[in-house]
């Protein structure tokens, strides 16, 4: 009885990996072993950097809000504290957009925060 090696499935798996690693440099796009390693690493990087992107955007938004609020005489942390006390529920993405593109609306938001802070 001939030995069964499951050839079609193995060949299909190798073809799928090599097709996915098309465009990689050198052996990473031509040899199965190196292609699988490159695929694993690329999936790890993609997963990790999706989280890093969120962190980077939050830092960017914080910086933009801080610049806008300091121009109006309030630090970032005081602004956030004032917004919490005033029960204004705008997230950082929206606040950053207002600070950059709609300064008049941002001024009103900062005025609400100042009013909620009182004498601080």
pLDDT beyond 80 at 38: yes
Residue with tokens 């593109």: 101
* Interior angle at CA 71, CA 66 and CA 74, nearest 5: 65
pLDDT in tens, 13-24: 999 999 999 999
Q: Counting Cβ atoms within 10 Å, is residue 107 exposed (0-12), middle (13-18) or buried (19+)? A: middle
3-state secondary structure 45-86: HHHHHHHHHHHHHHHHHHHHHHHHHHHCCCCHHHHHHHHHHC
For the segment 6-19, the average pLDDT, to the nearest whole number, is 94
* pLDDT at res. 120: 63
The pTM for the full model equals: 0.75
Element (H, E) at 26: none
**What tokens does 66 get?**
């801080």
76, two tokens: 């970032």
Q: How is the chain split into domains, by residue range?
A: 10-117
8-16, long-range: CB < 8 A, 24+ apart = none
Judge whether residue 77 has pLDDT over 90: yes
Mean pLDDT of 1-30: 93
Q: Stretch 68-97: mean pLDDT, rounded? A: 94
Q: At residue 79, what are phi and psi to the nearest 5 degrees?
A: -60, -50
Stretch 52-77: mean pLDDT, rounded?
A: 96
**In the CATH scheme, what is the homologous superfamily, with its name and number, of domain 10-117?**
Ribosomal protein L20, C-terminal domain (1.10.1900.20)
pLDDT band for 2, please (50, 70, 90 cuts): confident
Provide the pLDDT for residue 119: 67
Q: What is the mean pLDDT of residues 60-65?
A: 97
Q: Give the integer Cα–Cα distance in Å for 85 and 115.
A: 10
Mean pLDDT of the chain: 94
Q: What confidence score (pLDDT) does residue 86 get?
A: 94
């Amino acid at each position: 009885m001939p030995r069964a090696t499951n050839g079609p499935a193995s060949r299909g798996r190798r073809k799928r990996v090599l097709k996915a690693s098309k465009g990689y440099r050198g052996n990473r796009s031509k040899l199965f072993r190196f292609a699988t390693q490159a695929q694993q690493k690329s999936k790890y990087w993609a997963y990790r950097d999706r989280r890093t992107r969120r962190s980077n955007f939050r830092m960017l938004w914080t910086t933009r809000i801080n610049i806008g609020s300091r121009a109006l005489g309030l630090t970032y942390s005081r602004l956030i504290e004032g917004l919490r006390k005033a029960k204004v529920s705008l997230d950082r993405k929206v606040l950053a957009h207002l600070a950059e593109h709609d300064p008049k609306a941002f001024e009103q938001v900062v005025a609400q925060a100042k009013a909620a802070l009182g004498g601080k």
